[in-house]
């Protein structure tokens, strides 16, 4: 019978056997899968595990600092790499969604690879790959692989010349969460909404600039914190804000404004393959809209996305 406890026991024993005294590197993303993989590996090999967390300049507001802190609290040896400027420089002027994904994916591999090879005698690359990722990357001609290239799967191992260890590759998401719970990983980490690897880069629907990232981070934080305060966060599978390449006329006091529009997106889903927009309460939407427009300079209009997937996708790019 599969139980989280028996899985942990068996897996930790197998990892000890397989990895012995070898050094292992793991990329942490702040998400559920890599966090659970990190704690399992830490239980098996302790200080021989080094984790790397890259700030690509496209994370949520304060995410880099707060996620680093929670990993350190769990005892993990984690290196935070501030690579914001490199990603912003390389994304300058790029508007094509797939072009952005390619650059972000390539930069991530470069930064991660350089950092990983500073670890003396590193032999293994650990990944938080779960069973659905395995299936998805096998069916390379499947719709999800051709519609949008997901950068968090392939690419890394080929480049790095390391052996690969994937302790979660037979688990489904709900099993990963149960294992995480049994490992005492904080509820806030385990219950986090999915967040795309290219981050805010694909929620800015035009070229990425540091100023647009800042504006979007502010609006996104108001929306996400609002969902938490109104106890709506756990009723939503994923939520975020899109910064549209559209300006619209508004008034502020007796001044005319001509500023950006953002779209709020909140969906219910089980696996991201299909999704329904969430019927958030009007009072909540009204409050968030007011707060964004009043507090975030550069935004004067908020709209709510009421499209389901298919035919729309969850992200706008």
Alpha carbon 157 to its chain centroid, in Å, reads 20
**What's the sign of the alpha-carbon dihedral 265, 313, 102, 169?**
positive
Tell whether residue 32 is among the known ligand binding residues: yes
Task: Identify which of residues 127 and 152 has a Cβ nearer to ligand XMP in the complex.
Answer: 152
Query: With binding defined as CB under 6 A, does residue 148 bind ligand XMP?
Result: yes
Query: With binding defined as CB under 6 A, does residue 27 bind ligand XMP?
Result: no
Check residue 58 and report its DSSP letter.
-
Measure the CA–CA gap between 280 and 42, rounded to whole angstroms. Answer: 40
Residues 254-273 within binding reach of ligand XMP (CB under 6 A): 272
Task: Identify which of residues 162 and 200 has a Cβ nearer to ligand XMP in the complex.
Answer: 200
**Per-residue x/- marks for ligand XMP, 76-105, CB under 6 A?**
-------------------------x----
Query: With binding defined as CB under 6 A, does residue 28 bind ligand XMP?
Result: no
Query: With binding defined as CB under 6 A, does residue 238 bind ligand XMP?
Result: yes
Query: With binding defined as CB under 6 A, does residue 298 bind ligand XMP?
Result: no
Task: Identify which of residues 22 and 305 has a Cβ nearer to ligand XMP in the complex.
Answer: 305
Tell whether residue 35 is among the known ligand binding residues: yes
Interface region with ligand XMP, contact rule CB under 6 A, candidates 41-49, 87-95, 164-172, 189-197: 189-197
What does the block give as tokens for 117?
Answer: 């090879």
Q: How far is the CB of 217 from ligand XMP (least distance, A)?
A: 17
Tell whether residue 46 is among the known ligand binding residues: no
Q: How far is the CB of 128 from ligand XMP (least distance, A)?
A: 12
152, 217, 260, 289: residue in contact with ligand XMP (rule CB under 6 A) = 152
Query: With binding defined as CB under 6 A, does residue 248 bind ligand XMP?
Result: no
Query: With binding defined as CB under 6 A, does residue 305 bind ligand XMP?
Result: no
Tell whether residue 303 is among the known ligand binding residues: no
Measure the CA–CA gap between 206 and 173, rounded to whole angstroms. Answer: 32
Q: Give the long-range contacts of residues 41-47, CB within 8 A, separation 24 or more.
A: 41/15, 41/126, 41/165, 41/167, 42/74, 42/75, 42/76, 43/8, 43/12, 43/183, 44/11, 44/12, 44/15, 44/16, 44/19, 45/15, 45/16, 45/19, 47/77
Check residue 169 and report its DSSP letter.
T
Identify the H or E element spanning 234. none
Query: With binding defined as CB under 6 A, does residue 29 bind ligand XMP?
Result: no
Measure the CA–CA gap between 205 and 94, rounded to whole angstroms. Answer: 10
Q: What Cα–Cα distance (Å) separates residue 138 from each residue in 144, 154, 193?
A: 11, 11, 25
Query: With binding defined as CB under 6 A, does residue 194 bind ligand XMP?
Result: yes
Residues found near ligand XMP in the complex (CB under 6 A): 101, 148, 150-152, 194, 196-198, 238, 272, 309, 313-315
Annotated binding-site positions for ATP: 29-35
């Amino acid at each position: 019978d599969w139980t989280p406890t028996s899985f942990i026991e068996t897996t930790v024993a197998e990892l000890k056997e397989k990895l012995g005294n070898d050094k292992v590197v793991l990329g942490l993303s702040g998400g559920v899968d890599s966090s659970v993989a990190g704690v399992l590996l830490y239980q098996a090999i302790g200080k021989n595990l080094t984790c790397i967390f890259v700030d690509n300049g496209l994370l949520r507001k304060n995410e880099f600092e707060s996620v680093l802190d929670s990993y350190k609290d769990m005892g993990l040896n984690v290196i935070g790499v501030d690579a914001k400027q490199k990603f912003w420089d390389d994304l300058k002027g790029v508007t094509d969604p797939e072009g952005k994904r390619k650059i972000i994916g390539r930069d991530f591999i470069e930064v991660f690879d350089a950092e990983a090879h500073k670890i003396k005698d590193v032999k293994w690359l650990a990944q938080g790959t779960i069973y659905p990722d395995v299936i998805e990357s096998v069916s390379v001609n499947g719709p999800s692989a051709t519609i949008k290239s997901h950068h968090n799967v392939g690419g890394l191992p080929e480049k790095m010349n390391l052996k690969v260890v994937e302790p979660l590759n037979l688990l489904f998401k709900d099993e990963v969460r149960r294992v995480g719970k049994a490992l005492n990983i904080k509820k806030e980490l385990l219950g986090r909404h999915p967040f795309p690897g290219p981050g805010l880069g694909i929620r800015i629907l035009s070229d990425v600039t540091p100023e647009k990232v800042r504006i979007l981070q502010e609006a996104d934080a108001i929306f996400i914190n609002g969902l938490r305060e109104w106890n709506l966060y756990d009723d939503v599978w994923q939520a975020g804000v899109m910064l549209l390449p559209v300006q619209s006329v508004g008034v502020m006091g007796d001044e005319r404004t001509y500023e950006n529009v953002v779209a709020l997106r909140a969906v219910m889903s089980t696996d991201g393959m299909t999704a329904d927009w969430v019927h958030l309460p009007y009072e909540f939407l009204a409050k968030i809209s007011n707060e964004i427009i009043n507090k975030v300079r550069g935004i004067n209009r908020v709209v709510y996305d009421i499209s389901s997937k298919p035919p729309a996708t969850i992200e706008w790019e």
